[in-house]
Amino acid sequence: MNIAVLGAGAWGTALAISLAARHRVTLWTRNAEHLAELTSLRVNQRYLPGHSLPDSIHPTTVLSEALEGVELVFVVVPVAGLRATLQQIAGLNQSLPLVLACKGFEVDSANLPCQVVEEVYPDTPCGVLSGPSFAQEVAMGLPTALTLASRDDVFARHMANEIRSQNLRVYSGNDVIGVEVGGALKNVIAIAAGISDGIGFGNNARAALITRGLAEITRLGMALGGCRETFTGLTGIGDLILTCTGNLSRNRQVGMMLAGGRQLAEILPEIGHVTEGVYTVREAYGLGQALQIDMPVTQAVYSILYEKISVRNAIRDMLDREPGVETS
């Protein structure tokens, strides 16, 4: 297949490297300096150093060139840039099949990526790709399992088969909402897990955070139309465990730095990549309030990031809550 990957961050580059084993890939970046680096070094030194681009990957900054003759488009831009990117695609071609590989809620609208597609680029096959995966490990070819979900079962199965490789196992599904909610909210819980680890609360506390975090992800996901079973799979508990425990998790790093007394304004430039959980928590908190869903972990992270409550006070407020009955 001819495939375009739009977005040359760490994840977009890792996907392009994986796809290039079977397909011809165009990798689109907005930045001319970044393109020069990709073209001359054949390495994404800025976002994924140490991993060479195969010869079958063609970098470009020209969107029309990236989309010319392609059979599938992976959209791997941050959620903040998704709507504008889709509008550009729509201006060039109205019928390209899409796979979304971005996680989060759109700021202000609280739309999931699939809902943005429905508004801007409707009436085309669309799927979402998610699951427990660090870009570096995918680029290295280490074993990884993901889910590709689409409301079109035939599209989901076909594309899952097309993008799989020896070490990239891709399952198909149809719960688009559940997959996207799990992928978005796990980043929020990972910030909380990083805070817990940074303070030194230990493994017991982290396990409790992951478990109770999964409960509130499930509550919100089901209220938005997701299926309970999805949250016990790869894009639910699988992605949550990885992001809350792995040292490569940027959201967990944010939490650990916050626990160390650092301010968000200095943390984000140091990390240098988009950290979706910082923005997702604002929309998730708003949705929880609007739908009257109990989301104490999300509320604590929101309070720390946007209400300037100290880490210690936010934790105290959580620990002072009545435990209640353990149900999802």
Query: Which residues have a catalytic role annotated?
Result: 186
The span from the first CA to the last CA of the chain, in angstroms, equals 42
d(CA 210, CA 198) in angstroms, rounded, equals 15
Which residues are CB-neighbours of 223 under 8 A, at least 6 positions away? 291, 293
| Sign of CA pseudo-dihedral 174, 180, 185, 190 | positive
